[in-house]
Amino acid sequence: MYTLDWPYAYGKPLSTATFKASPEDFQVNELFTGEFSGEGEHILLKIEKKGLNTEDVVKALARLINKSIKTISYAGLKDRQALSTQWLSIHAPGEDIAGLEDISEPNWRVLEHSRHNKKLRPGFLTGNQFIIQLKQLSEPEAFIQRIEQIKARGVPNYFGEQRFGRNAGNLEKAEALLVQGKRVKDRFLQGIYFSAARSWIFNLILAERVRAGNWCSVLAGDVMQLSGSHSIFVAENDLIELDQRILAKDLSPAGPLPGKRKNMVQG
């Protein structure tokens, strides 16, 4: 069994509320502040979806345009139980796909599209905008106090349960791939399982730092990420100054995500 019960930075919650009673209670909008080239091998789509996850939409889109799901990319996964906008890219060199602007299915639709010279990858987007509605809130004073703590210091950025699948099923699939050597023909699913494993390792390390009380402090060898540019560097000296910059929300410590790329975290 895999634990998904992570330690709290400020103690256990003192308030309760109903969350995600409907998809409209959790709205996520992907933000992209750059400009599209207007030409290139890729067609970028902005879609709106409700009650579907990213995989559901990718499969539905591939079926509608008669292309392999391998030709469709995205920058991040989005929850099923949400109303969200998301960018997808289709690799279609020299190919016009008619009717994209008219796609409007019961639970998702295309809002806009444009040509671009690069496909979507993680890190392509500026960020995400969240609109969260809580209902039936208890202990409102304790809730407001906790919000003020979060505003001052932030929260441990754990990966949420949706990353690990229902009953942590994605982690079990990842173990079968990585430990038992089993294979998955569907590269989309394989990527989801590997992502779950990386995210779980990240959460384990973050949880240890929460228990130690240093999750929001700099340790020698930490990778630091600037808040504006998202540039990164390794913390080696001037740790006290870096802690002050964290409090000023100028930068944040980052955690490791194991994979093929070089891991900069040291110590």
Least reliable range by pLDDT among 73-77, 95-99, 231-235, 259-263: 259-263
At residue 37, the pLDDT reads 87
- Stretch 53-72: mean pLDDT, rounded? 93
**What does the pLDDT look like over 19-30, one tens digit per residue?**
999 999 999 999
Residues near 51 by beta carbon (within 8 Å), at least 6 away in sequence:
23, 80, 81, 107
Confirm whether 184 is domain-assigned. Answer: no
CATH code of the domain in which 118 resides: 3.30.2350.20
Provide the residue range defining the domain that includes 71: 23-128
In a domain, 248, yes or no: yes
* Within-domain flag for 123: yes
Q: Is 209 within the bounds of a domain?
A: no
**Distance spanning both ends of the chain, measured CA to CA:** 29
Identify whether 79 is a catalytic site residue. yes
* Residue range 83-138, pLDDT digits in tens: 999 999 999 998 888 888 889 999 999 999 999 998 888 878 888 999 999 999 99
Last residue of a domain, one of 128, 159, 177: 128
End of a domain among 93, 128, 163?
Answer: 128
Q: Is the pLDDT of residue 184 over 80?
A: yes
Q: Is 244 a member of any domain?
A: yes
> Is residue 224 in some structural domain?
yes
Contact (Cβ atoms closer than 8 angstroms) between residue 57 and residue 152: no
CA atoms within 13 A on the CB side of 52: 19
Tell me which residue of 49, 55, 88, 85 sits closest to 72, measured CA to CA: 88
Half-sphere exposure of 188 (CA within 13 A, CB side): 16
pLDDT higher than 80, residue 53: yes
| The domain boundary residue, chosen from 95, 128, 161 | 128
Other Cβ atoms closer than 10 A to 189: 14
Q: Is the residue at 96 inside a domain?
A: yes
Q: Which of 5, 56, 79, 250 is catalytic?
A: 79
0.75 surpassed by pTM: no
Is 264's pLDDT higher than 70? no
Summarize pLDDT for 157-171 with one digit per residue, the tens.
999 888 898 888 999
Count of structural domains within the chain: 2
